[in-house]
Amino acid sequence: MINEKTGDVTIDAKVQDIVADAGDRKGFVLILAGSPSDEKHIEELHKEFDRWLIPHDVVVSSAHKMPVATKKLVQAYNALEGMMTFVTVAGGTDALSGGVSFYSNHLTISSPPDGFNDTCLRNPPHSSNLYILTPAGIARFIAQQYRGVNTWIKSIMKEGTKGTLSSIPEGTWVQDQIKSNNGYAVVLAVEEHRPERVSKLAVSLAGYNVPFTVETFPTNVHRNDIRAKVMEYNALDGSMVYITTHNIFSYAACDLHSPALHPMIYLANGSARENCIDSNVANVICPENAARAVAQMYASSNPKIREALEMSIAMKVSELQTKGPELKRYANLSPNIKG
């Protein structure tokens, strides 16, 4: 709760207990809305989270009208030990998602109430919110994110999505990482397709101490081959996330009726494709932000990732504070009138 007069933030004791849950129902969502007028959209999110039995709360805080209070709110949740996700609801020019995702140790997903709104995607590096258009898509993505640590969600997921291991041998480092629930990313790439973006993504993941592997497919890859790979990873009981730079993976693996048990992030090239928007695939444009979003997904369970994430925030703020005053050389408080 935010005190409108003082801007102070207090978090309900019950919410603190849910976030800190060390049992088999880990995972919490805070719906952070920019205005009470977004109630209809918030209600849709509420219904979808209820369907997956995901605990959630609602707070109204405008990035434009209450920037200091919004920052305090994010920092208050950063101090909690546990797994949670911000879902930001803001129409028009979405400043809320960018601000929350910059200061947060937790993942932020944009849910604009005014339909397709790509201002959610136009943020610079370090504002790492993901974008999913529909409340149903957001709820399924978060359910996939929490599935490895939440037995209730796991029981809801379709039994028919269970896979069989073939090319991922038992007892390998990959299996151990996924089963640990401490964070793992699988980059799905196509030969000779945007290799520079895959490279930037890999460097950024390493910078946040996120363990990952790159699965490279031939240029003529068939959707059935992708589904087969998805089923292999489904057989691993734990937490991981897919990241891809090619839309064929989202077509084949992660629509709302797909067999994937793990969430997918699409690293769009300039704009989000409609097929990715109208699904549970999360969208982001900047490779650095994709890696940072993954780090935020696992910061609560992996101290090395959390440390790297907090350091990145501190370094960016320090950079702004140091370099900002240098621009004072362009100031002129007493211009002379010529002529």
DSSP string, 96-118: HHHHHHHH-SSEEEE--TTS--G
User: What pLDDT is recorded for position 93?
Assistant: 81
Question: What value does the CA radius of gyration of the chain take, rounded to a whole number of Å?
Answer: 20
The per-residue pLDDT for 265 is 93
- Window from 112-116, 140-144, 209-213 with minimum mean pLDDT: 112-116
Q: How far is residue 258's CA from residue 93's CA, in Å, rounded to a whole number? A: 32
Q: At what angle do helices 303-323 and 287-298 cross, to 10 degrees?
A: 130
Q: What is the pLDDT of residue 256?
A: 45
User: Residue 19: in which H helix or E strand, if any?
Assistant: helix 13-19
Q: In the beta sheet, which residues pair with residue 110?
A: 88, 131
User: What's 123's DSSP letter?
Assistant: P
Contacts of 241 (CB under 8 A, 6+ apart): 145, 184, 185, 186, 262, 263, 264, 265, 294, 297
- Angle (CA) 121-144-273 rounded to 5° is 30
pLDDT bucket at 7, cuts 50 / 70 / 90: low
d(CA 116, CA 136): 15
Tokens 């805080």 belong to 61
**Of 277, 56, 237, 252, whose CA–CA distance to 157 is shortest?**
237
Each residue of 193-216: pLDDT tens digit? 889 999 999 999 999 999 999 999
| Non-local CB neighbours of 162 within 8 Å, separated by 6+ positions | 234, 235
Comparison of pLDDT for 317 and 102, the residue scoring more:
102
Laid out side by side, the sheet with 264-267 consists of 56-60, 28-33, 84-89, 107-110, 130-131, 282-284, 264-267, 241-244, 185-190, 212-217
Give the per-residue pLDDT at 278: 60
CB 243 within 8 A of CB 276: no
For the record, the structure tokens of 300 come out as 């609560």
Entry pTM: 0.90
| pLDDT band at 164; cut points 50, 70, 90 | low
Tokens encoding 130: 């993901």
Rounded (10°) CA dihedral 300, 301, 306, 308: -150
List pLDDT tens digits, range 219-268. Answer: 888 888 888 888 888 888 788 999 988 877 766 555 544 668 899 999 88
Q: What gap in Å lies between CA 119 and CA 65, rounded to an integer?
A: 18
- Residue keyed to tokens 């009208």: 65
Q: Which residues contact 320 (CB under 8 A, 6 or more apart)?
A: none
CA distance 50 to 56: 9
Going along the chain from its start, the domains and CATH numbers come out as 13-144 (3.40.50.1970), 158-298 (3.40.50.1970)
User: Of 212, 301, 309, which is closest to residue 27 (Cα–Cα)?
Assistant: 301
What pLDDT score does 248 carry? 77
* Calpha distance 320→335 (Å, rounded): 27
| pLDDT above 90 for 297 | yes
Greatest extent of the chain over all pairs of C-alpha atoms, in Å: 82
* DSSP H stretches of helix in 181-260: 195-207, 223-234, 247-253
Question: 159 pLDDT exceeds 60?
Answer: no
